[in-house]
Amino acid sequence: MNFSLEQLNTFVAVYEQQAFSKAAIKLTKHRTTVAQVITSLEDQLAITLFNRLSRSVEPTEDAVLLYHYAKQILEQAKTLDRFALSLSFGGLESVTIAYASFLPHHVVSKIRRQLYEDFPSMRVNFLVRTKPEIKAGIEDGSIHFGIVNIYESKVINSIDFTFLGNMPFVPFAHAGSELSTKPSSEALSTMKSLRQFVLKSMVDDKMTEKVVVSSKHEYVDQLAVIIKLVQDNFGWALLPKSIIESEYVTENLVEIKCDEIKQDIMVPISLWCPHSKQIAQVKKSIIKVADYYINKSAN
């Protein structure tokens, strides 16, 4: 049984808008045309997709089942269109890279340096964004690459996915703090009683149980702000182990050893981007840097 993209697109619009008139506005079509497409689809399937009410429609159980498949097919069609379009274009003049707030600034800087070496004339924009914002930006074309925490994430067919590795996070505190003077056998109990700064993005990515230790925890959006607060001895925090690469960042900071924490807190990192020939070489440069720093700190 063959379905046209017009049929599926109209069906999805009516399903989401719950009315022929609203779907018609969204599709810039006449209401009668939308209703005819749905009636034709129902005849083709020999089922009823919507119960017609006075000014709206109500999806049937069959419509609910069909919607998820139709939505997926439309997303794949959009992906195919973007990929086909990219085959006819050359390199990009600029790229936009979005990343979650947990990514250390020295890694961002190294990525920029690598891109400068590989593509000297290309402009590069870096943006801090949440995972949903990155997904939406890649799908609408405003973002070319996203570096994200994929803890408990599902596979997204419309986005190219490259697993970069697990970024280790370990406890850090001020070199002169109470916590830094405790033996490893007492570190955990002390951490539980002191103020802890937690990256908000880690909580948004459903890692609360893994990263929140102290009842006196405070959420902060930016990694740089947390580092500064710890440097000023306001509390302690779980920070990327790779920050030891930067002498400036680690000033007055020490890693805290804890008997009860046998392994580093591992955060799975992925590079998201659209399926596109245009950005293939840029992707290789980003992966080269990110893979080195993420996996180096994990060893």
One pLDDT digit (tens) per residue for the chain, 299 residues: 678 899 999 999 999 999 999 999 999 999 999 999 999 999 999 999 999 998 899 999 999 999 999 998 888 887 777 666 555 545 678 899 999 988 888 889 999 999 998 888 888 999 999 999 999 999 888 999 999 999 877 766 678 989 999 999 999 999 999 999 999 999 999 999 999 999 999 999 899 999 999 999 999 999 999 999 999 999 999 999 888 766 556 678 999 999 988 889 999 999 999 988 778 889 999 998 887 777 665 55
The whole-number pLDDT of residue 135 equals 92
Kindly report each contact of residues 38-46 with a partner whose C-beta sits within 8 Å and lies 24 or more positions away, as own/partner: 38/10, 38/11, 38/14, 40/7, 41/3, 41/7, 41/10, 41/11, 44/1, 44/3, 45/1
Alpha helices in the chain (DSSP H): 5-17, 20-27, 31-45, 61-86, 105-118, 131-140, 187-193, 200-204, 208-211, 223-231, 280-298
The reported pLDDT for the residue numbered 105 is 86
Residue 101, number of CB atoms within 10 A of its CB: 20
In the prediction, which pLDDT does 89 show? 46
Q: Could you identify the residue written with the tokens 């880690």?
A: 202
pLDDT score at 118:
87
**Predicted TM-score (pTM) of this structure:** 0.68
Classify strands 196-199 and 236-240 as parallel, antiparallel or unpaired.
parallel
Nearest CA to 74 out of 6, 27, 141 is that of: 6
Please name the helix (run of DSSP H) or strand (run of DSSP E) that holds residue 166, with its range, or none: strand 160-174
| pLDDT at residue 2, rounded to an integer | 78
Domains and their CATH numbers in the chain: 3-87 (1.10.10.10), 92-163+266-296 (3.40.190.10), 166-264 (3.40.190.290)
